[in-house]
A and B are shown apart, each in its own frame.
Chain A
Amino acid sequence: MARPALARLSPFNITSLALGLAFLYLPIVILVIYSFNASRLVTVWGGWSLRWYVEFFNDEAMLSALAMSLRVAAMSATAATILGTLAAVALTRAGSFHGRTLFSGMLYAPLVMPEVITGLSLLLLFVAVDAQRGFWTVTIAHTTLTMCFVTVVVQSRLGSLDRSLEEAAMDLGCDPFWAFVKVTLPLILPSVVAGWMLAFTLSMDDVVIASFTTGPGSTTLPIRIYSEVRLGVKPEINAICTLIVGSIAVVIVVASLVSKLSSRQGENAAPL
């Protein structure tokens, strides 16, 4: 305690932190600045302008890809949150059961599995059952991937929760289901919301799995951006990326305000 000799913050620590954060943020900042560039040449500065934003909002194909992505993300994030929360409850509350190792293995593997494998295998399943590829197949694929992330997020919160609260509710006559709904669920709500947001962003982000599982006429925004980027840099892409970064920033600010609010209500909500 009283040993400042082990100074917690040496110049080395501060430098490495500052450099690390600069490395993480500089490319994004540069991207945002250049999205307001009037020049067609991406790196020649032609003054401030919103022309690439106008161009984006006039691009039918981009807009329909965006709509498709938003629909898939909303639907799959919701399904993933329900399934992932159930899985987290089972893993933290059910003790040992038959197939537990298989269950947790199946939930952890997709977190690190290369996406080309997950995408290919799901496509072969959809082909085998002759499923029409499009909105639903992408949604199912994204649900499968993102529910695993929801499980991890919710599980870490459930694991640190005081069980005596729900036991008390049951002692007072609640059946386990209502004890969960009335006591546990409100306590883990911040992490459930964080799980939903993570699932939503991951779905909005995915190129590889969507490319395998989508069909003609249902392109998602990342697939569209990806095919444009492959052909060369277009300033319009800078504008789209800035819009995405901006909306994510808004979501994060709102989320941290919500979690601060709920922690002020007498509970130590984890940041995000």
Chain B
Amino acid sequence: MSGRRLFSAPARRAAIAPFLWMLLFFLLPFGFVLKISLSHAVMAQPPYLPVFDPAEGIAAPKAAIAAFSLDNFRLLASDHFYVLSYLRSVVVALVSTSILLAVGYPIAYGMSRLPARWQPIAMILVIVPFWTSFLIRVYAWINILQHDGILNNVLMALRLISAPVVWLSTDAAMYIGLVYSYLPFMILPLYATLAKIDPALLEASADLGGSRLTTFWLVTVPLSLPGIGAGALLCFIPIVGEFVIPDLLAGSASPMIGQTLWLEFFNNHDWPVASSIAVVLLVLLLAPLLVYERVQRRRLEGTR
């Protein structure tokens, strides 16, 4: 006991460096985002400053900070373009999270049923693609889905289609890319809870006359709810703000909010609007983020 107390003071000192680092490079920057989101755009004030010139870069926000206003937020609420961007992001994230759950659950379930010594190997096999650059994984799908790509070649060789089908730059391609990239994020938390389920509970259900299916629905699924929640949040939140995958795989008709932020920033050089998009996105995600933090903490307390 005394040893533990002895240890806690130095351990608290260990927090100082990472704490200061995160305050400086994680929390403080949000202050700047908030500040600039409340300032006027200086688009009409020539010459507008290039984004990548560090010498001039500071002048734009400085001039803009002169007067705080809520104009940017009013713009976001009144312009259909932004509203639709947010809606599309949420819809895309909901749909792909559902697909991920449907695809990931059987895989995680299959893993948890493997003999004990095979389970770590299956886990490594699922993790390895996650260690492979996600840009490469998205690019691999471009190789497959493009006009003269492997998919079209195979389908034509099988005489299932007579002319190449347009796969790339469609929502279908984007969903494939999203599901492919986020699948390990869904499988791992699911597997973690499924593997922990006591087989005695399943046997008890079978003894009481439950069929495999009722056992699955009434015992396995409820017990795996924490994993379902963690997996869904781990996928949903980053997908809402996803930029690279929709940019490379989806059509250009309607962008997701991450793409809109990127466009406002890099193409329109409108820092205030980009910042206010970030603020609203953050507020939208705050609720699921807090839930995630809760789940995470409960999970860690559970393992202790």
Residues of chain A touching chain B, judged by Cβ–Cβ distance below 8 Å, are 3, 5-6, 8-10, 12-14, 16-17, 20-21, 23-25, 27-28, 30-31, 34, 41-44, 82-84, 86-87, 89-95, 97, 99, 103-110, 112-118, 120-122, 124-125, 127-128, 130-133, 140-141, 143-144, 147, 151, 155-156, 159-160, 163, 166-167, 170-171, 176-177, 179-180, 198, 201, 204-205, 207-208, 211-212, 215-216, 222, 225-226, 229-230, 233, 237-238, 241, 244-245, 248-249, 252, 256, 271-272
Contact B52 A215 (CB under 8 A): yes
- The answer to whether B141 touches A27 (Cβ under 8 A) is yes
**A-chain residues with CB within 8 Å of residue B128 when the two chains form the complex:** 248-249, 252
**A132 contacts B54, CB within 8 Å?**
yes
Kindly identify which residue among A108, A130, A170 contacts B292, using a CB–CB cutoff of 8 Å: A108
| Nearest residue, chain A, Cβ from B242 | A114
A-B contact pairs, 20 of them (CB 8 A): A6-B206, A13-B113, A27-B143, A43-B149, A83-B17, A90-B15, A93-B11, A97-B15, A109-B26, A116-B261, A124-B29, A132-B54, A144-B22, A176-B10, A208-B244, A229-B142, A229-B248, A237-B139, A244-B133, A271-B123
Check B8–A95 contact: CB distance below 8 A: yes
B148 with A43: CB separation less than 8 A: yes
Chain A positions within 8 Å of B85 at CB level: none
Q: Of all chain B residues, which has the CB nearest A31?
A: B140
Smallest beta-carbon distance B267→chain A, Å: 13
Could you list 18 further interchain pairs (A-B, Cβ under 8 angstroms) beyond the known A20-B110, A83-B21, A120-B265?
A10-B113, A13-B106, A13-B110, A31-B136, A42-B146, A103-B15, A108-B292, A112-B234, A114-B238, A114-B242, A122-B25, A125-B29, A170-B6, A208-B244, A215-B52, A233-B142, A241-B133, A245-B132
Chain B positions near chain A (C-beta within 8 angstroms): 3-4, 6-12, 14-15, 17-19, 21-23, 25-30, 32-33, 36, 52, 54, 57-58, 61, 103, 106-107, 109-111, 113-115, 120, 122-129, 131-137, 139-144, 146, 148-150, 153, 180, 183, 187, 199, 202-203, 206, 233-234, 237-238, 240-244, 247-248, 258, 261-262, 265-266, 271, 274-275, 278, 281-282, 285, 289, 292-293, 296-297, 300, 303-304
User: In the assembled complex, which residues on chain B have CB atoms less than 8 Å from the CB atom of A25?
Assistant: 129
Interchain CB contact under 8 A, B4 and A207 = no
The answer to whether residues A90 and B14 also contact, given A20-B103, A99-B19, A128-B58 and a CB cut-off of 8 A, is yes
* Nearest B residue (CB) for A237: B139
A109 to B290, CA, bound (A): 9
Identity of the chain B residue whose Cβ is nearest the Cβ of A179 in the assembled complex: B7
The answer to whether B131 touches A248 (Cβ under 8 A) is: yes
Write out the residue numbers on chain B whose beta carbons fall within 8 Å of the beta carbon of A9.
113-115
Residues of A within 8 A of B183 (CB): 20, 23-24
Do B17 and A241 touch (CB < 8 A)? no
CB distance from B186 to the nearest CB of A (A): 11
State the 7 A-B residue pairs at the shortest beta-carbon distance, nearest first.
Answer: A114-B241, A90-B15, A167-B3, A121-B29, A20-B107, A93-B11, A16-B106
Pairwise interchain contact B148-A121, C-beta atoms closer than 8 A: no
Among A9, A105, A128, A170: residue with most chain B CB under 10 A: A128
Q: Which of B17, B22, B153, B303 contacts A159 (CB 8 A)?
A: B303
Min CB–CB distance A224 → chain B (angstroms)? 10
Q: In the complex, what's the smallest C-beta–C-beta distance from A146 to chain B, in angstroms?
A: 12
**CA A161 – CA B156 in complex, angstroms?**
57
B215 nearest CB neighbor, chain A only: A6
In the assembled complex, how far is the CB of residue A262 from the closest CB belonging to chain B, in whole angstroms? 15
Interface of A is mostly: helix
- B203 surroundings in chain A (CB, below 8 A): 3, 6
Chain B residue nearest to A229 in the complex (CB): B139
A8 touches B8 (CB 8 A): no
Bound complex: CA A222 to CA B138 (Å): 12
CB atoms of B15 and A87 under 8 A apart: yes
Known contacts A116-B278, A125-B28, A222-B135; is A104 also within 8 Å of B297 by CB?
yes
Closest chain-A Cβ to B177's Cβ sits at a distance in Å of: 10
Asked whether, in the complex, the Cβ of A125 is within 8 Å of the Cβ of B132, the reply is no
Give the residues in chain A near B129, CB-CB below 8 Å: 24-25, 28
Whether A114 contacts B15 by the Cβ 8 Å rule is: no
Which residues of chain A come closer than 8 Å to B271, judged between CB atoms? 124
Nearest residue, chain A, Cβ from B152: A43
Asked if residues B107 and A16 are in contact (CB atoms below 8 Å), the reply is yes
Q: Determine the distance from Cα of A39 to Cα of B18 in the docked complex, in whole angstroms.
A: 51
Measured CB to CB, the closest approach of chain B to A147, in angstroms, equals: 7
Min Cβ gap B208→A in Å is 13
B143 and A30 form a contact (CB under 8 A): yes
List chain B residues, Cβ under 8 A from A93. Answer: 7-8, 11, 14
Minimal Cβ-Cβ distance residue in A for B107: A20
Closest to A41 in B: B148
List residues of chain A with CB within 8 A of the CB of B285: 113-114
